Structure 1
Amino acid sequence: MKIHSILFSAAGALLAYAVISTPASAAETRKNVLFIAVDDLRPELGCYGNPIIKSPNIDRLAKSGVVFENAFCQQAVCSPSRSSLLTGTRPDTTKVWDLVTHFRKAIPDIVTLPEHFKANGYFTQSMGKIYHHGLDDPQSWSVPSTFPKANFGGGGKKEKNRGPAFLATNDADNALHDGQLADMAVAALGGMKEKNQPFFLAVGFIRPHLPFISPKKYWDLYDPAKIPLAANPFRPKDAPGYSIVSGGEIRSYEGVPKDQHFPDDYARQAKHGYYAAVSYVDAQIGRVIDELDRLGLRESTVIILWGDHGWKLGEHDAWAKHSNVENDTHVPLLVSVPGSPSVGKRSPALVEFVDIYPTLSDLAGLPKPKGTEGFSFKPLLDDPAKAWKLAAFSQYPRTPAGKNLMGYTMRTERYRLTTWVNKGDVKTVDAVELYDHQTDPQENTNIAGDPANKELVAKLTAQWRAGWKAAMPK
């Protein structure tokens, strides 16, 4: 911690220490934070308008807070997205565009979101998948991160291969990863109640990430015949061929068709598996929130739930994330704040994952974090309809035919503009995509090449080049 140069005296030093080390009386007034991450969860929930999926616990949370209808991640794959959210900086700052690079290689002195809370008197604890696998940040936490004993795919036995992409099991909930994680979180909350210290508890669930494994009772919630297939199982017209990948990850599992297009019967089984996995993780989230209520901590705890990116369930003939399209960059984001005047409200405002760090700091009354590249959306929790950002920004790298490209995408209220540029020279444009969400919400037709849209493309390109700072709320 740096102490301002004016504090030369010992008395000044003591004053600085007193400000940072929060006394018990002040700590009691600070809101706790329950920080719930859900892997590969797209906005496929009842509270986002899906009438078929069964997500009663997340929907209950939505009724106690604000649902952000237009939240976007910074890159639609696990580590880049989480690195941006937890540092409050964008992928070109973290230099994390893959699943192996740690953000501290590029920004070694960054103070992360949980680290900021820790430095301001909070007890910070992580369990499950918060940072990406193998890329934890120990200095973010007051105690070492913990993980369920069950493996990522299924139960406690070591996996010899990846097995099926989806499976209904006869296991109890807590024989699988997320049920064990819920047990851990419930136990941790009991310990938090005994501490005379505000807490930041991060709980990272892995479903509905592949493989879509969950107990059979969650599969039985659905009639497969009523699960609709994607309405657009085809690539966007006139888009560059590399803009979307079909899904290499899912094809590494047993029994998955090797052809790009899944037969309808297999596609429906896979989507059924995803829905069942959502219902399974919803039940585990409900257990954690119920324990928060039982312990009398709900009225002193901010709850935030987010999915790290979207996922294509057959849209654009793909079963994956890994792109700049709406299905992948659009994410669920729910925030419940005790005493908020906007309980059960919805916000159409454009918000980004980099905004979460300054927002939670704002809600907790912490000093404004330094070096973040987002903007606190706390005002939207008071007035969800308030005019807000002009655009949200995401990106994804590609290497087609030996090219080294970065696709930068900008989402405004009406349009999505994606510009594919040389990674070493952003002035060298390889391709442009433009989608009008007023007439084409599924992003099925790239209209950037239409001569009638020449001026529009130029205008939006100028807005994109002006960058995220120019899109901030006025």
Structure 2
Amino acid sequence: MFMLLCGLIALLLPGAKGAKNVLFIIADDLRPQLDVYKEFNLGPTHTPNLDELAGKSLLLKRAYVQYALCSPSRTSFLTGRRPDTTHVYDLDHYFRTVGGNFTTMPQYFKNHGYRSVGIGKIYHPGMAASHGNDPISWNEFYRETEEFGAAGHKLSWKAVSDAERQKTPLVDEKIAAQAKRSLNELSKMSQPFFLAVGFHKPHLPFVFPQKFLSTFPLSEIHLPNNAYAPVDMPRIAWSSYGELRSYNDIGALNATGQPNTTLPDHIVRDLRRAYFSAVSYMDAMVGEVLAEVKKLNLMNDTIISFIGDHGYSLGEHGLWNKHTNFEDAVHAPMMIRVPGLTDQGAVTDQLVEFVDLFPTIVEAAGLPQLTMCPEQSSHIDICSEGKSMVHLMKYPHEQWKTAAFSQYRHGHVMGYSVRTNRYRYTEWVKFSGAPNYKADLSEVVAEELYDHVQDMQENINLAHHGNSANIVASLKKTLHVGWRSIHTNLIG
């Protein structure tokens, strides 16, 4: 009776019959640590499953998140709105309370006749951040929690033996298993599905099956060559990586996290190796899910999107975790496979933003496209502050956005950052929180300018160098005019 009812509902709802399914996969704290991003020189990689997916996807080489922290970033790309619209800047506020009653991506597909299912970490969990994974977004939701290392913040990383895993499976193993079960159930329904799968790794603690350590011999793990703060960096741009220091093994080192201090070399190597192993483990779990899609003959009917929710620092500049506006924190992997459109694979170096995901997947699925949000959209349930990237799937080398925008808040100061083809410019300004949520662009606390042609690692802040005045003035104008001016010149 239930299956019959689902089928009848599907036939009655707009856009459902004959529509493509959507598999939306998220990894947590994943920088572009994949084989297909080798040119960014981030260290050793082993990601065969994601590399295979990339070969049949639009691979976005320069995709930027709007905020380098789990809840603000996920809230942004799941609602299609930027943080200054959602008003989510931390892990303790829910967009429907502080921003507006916005329709989310899974909710939009649900409203258009899809069976909407979530597994693992999609929204940041908890009542404060998402009212318990935003219940209105889903027909079903399955949450799995971490077992090893998280309770009491014991250890920053752990290679888990086969015996331990048999007794207590790892969280991402359980998420992959549930995803396979859900795919089997959904494949039997007459309505299309939106299935979101959120893996916890490589988020701290870096926990993975022991066998993955052999993929990365310690002799091949190198230290960052820039374990120092950028020259002339303003202090407000820094983060003391308290998340990592909260683990007992790292806390015992009495590290302060201050600029131009570093962890011991052997600790840095161990942490980097553990992160690389966790990435490879996550790739294996993605591979299991993709294999199930193939087994069920769903590949030709399913849009597959894979992203990391933001970037990550692994000792570069002496920094760890996210919580900054540096390139390492806001640059993350993104690929989108659309059957019949990206089958031969396409790679683009054009600048894109994670806020572009929602309208892209909607257009690729053939559903009614999202309109651009007006300046004040807290009262509007469905619109987008991004732009569909379907055009790039057809013309990956065509000029697209000339800038991507990110931000990060430290107390009463907000850092607004703009990334162009060559430069990253960041302006730290006074910011008032609730209830006004107002940035005072006339109260500039500090500025940063990095030239990615001459200084890809962002080691020298040029903001106040004498010959940078014209560049700063131009980028300041771009930042202040904002993302809307970039969108008005886009094709498609």
Alignment TM-score > 0.5, same fold: yes
Equivalent of 1:218 in 194, 199, 212: 212
User: C-alpha deviations, 1:108-140, integer Å up to 9, x for none?
Assistant: 321111111111111101010000011211111
Using the aligned pairs only, state the percent identity. 42
Paired residues for 1:16-415 under 5 Å: 22=11, 27-49=16-38, 52-134=44-126, 135=130, 136-143=133-140, 145-148=141-144, 151-154=145-148, 160-170=151-161, 171-172=164-165, 175-256=169-250, 257-259=253-255, 260=257, 261-341=262-342, 343-369=344-370, 370-399=382-411, 404-415=412-423
Contact in 2 for aligned 1:393/1:408 (Cα 8 Å): yes
Contact in 2 for aligned 1:125/1:201 (Cα 8 Å): yes
| 1:409 aligned counterpart, secondary structure | strand
Contact in 2 for aligned 1:24/1:196 (Cα 8 Å): no
User: C-alpha deviations, 1:448-470, integer Å up to 9, x for none?
Assistant: 10111111111110111110001
- 1:461 maps to what in 2? 476
Contact in 1 for aligned 2:236/2:446 (Cα 8 Å): no
Contact in 1 for aligned 2:155/2:247 (Cα 8 Å): yes
Contact in 1 for aligned 2:307/2:332 (Cα 8 Å): yes
Which sections of structure 1, spanning at least 5 residues, go unmatched? 1-19
| 2:472 aligned counterpart, secondary structure | helix
User: C-alpha deviations, 1:381-431, integer Å up to 9, x for none?
Assistant: 1111111001000000113xxxx1000000011110000001142221011
Looking at structure 1, the residues matched to 307 and 369 of structure 2 have their Cα atoms a distance apart, in angstroms, of: 22
Deviation of 1:254 (Å): 1.6
Contact in 1 for aligned 2:11/2:17 (Cα 8 Å): no
Contact in 2 for aligned 1:246/1:320 (Cα 8 Å): no
Change (3 A) 1:25 1:162: closer
Looking at structure 2, the residues matched to 160 and 207 of structure 1 have their Cα atoms a distance apart, in angstroms, of: 16
Contact in 2 for aligned 1:246/1:317 (Cα 8 Å): no
User: Residue type of the partner of 2:142?
Assistant: T
Instruction: Tell me the TM-score normalized by structure 2.
Output: 0.88
Give the number of equivalent residue pairs. Answer: 445
Deviation of 1:103 (Å): 0.4
Looking at structure 2, the residues matched to 138 and 280 of structure 1 have their Cα atoms a distance apart, in angstroms, of: 29
Contact in 2 for aligned 1:93/1:106 (Cα 8 Å): no
| 1:433 aligned counterpart, secondary structure | strand
| 1:333 aligned counterpart, secondary structure | strand
Runs ≥4 in structure 1, deviation > 4 angstroms? Answer: 20-26
- 1:12 maps to what in 2? none
User: Residue type of the partner of 1:215?
Assistant: P
Looking at structure 2, the residues matched to 165 and 267 of structure 1 have their Cα atoms a distance apart, in angstroms, of: 12
Contact in 2 for aligned 1:24/1:197 (Cα 8 Å): no
Looking at structure 2, the residues matched to 309 and 341 of structure 1 have their Cα atoms a distance apart, in angstroms, of: 24
Deviation of 1:295 (Å): 0.2
Looking at structure 2, the residues matched to 147 and 371 of structure 1 have their Cα atoms a distance apart, in angstroms, of: 28
- 1:7 maps to what in 2? none
Contact in 2 for aligned 1:342/1:381 (Cα 8 Å): no
Change (3 A) 1:445 1:192: same
Looking at structure 1, the residues matched to 178 and 342 of structure 2 have their Cα atoms a distance apart, in angstroms, of: 32
| 2:142 aligned counterpart, secondary structure | coil
Deviation of 1:231 (Å): 1.9
Deviation of 1:23 (Å): 5.1
Looking at structure 2, the residues matched to 160 and 116 of structure 1 have their Cα atoms a distance apart, in angstroms, of: 35
- 2:376 maps to what in 1? none
Deviation of 1:341 (Å): 4.7
| 1:332 aligned counterpart, secondary structure | strand
Looking at structure 2, the residues matched to 459 and 406 of structure 1 have their Cα atoms a distance apart, in angstroms, of: 20
Looking at structure 2, the residues matched to 140 and 26 of structure 1 have their Cα atoms a distance apart, in angstroms, of: 18
Contact in 2 for aligned 1:79/1:131 (Cα 8 Å): yes
| 2:284 aligned counterpart, secondary structure | helix
Change (3 A) 1:310 1:160: closer
Contact in 2 for aligned 1:42/1:330 (Cα 8 Å): yes
Deviation of 1:342 (Å): 6.0
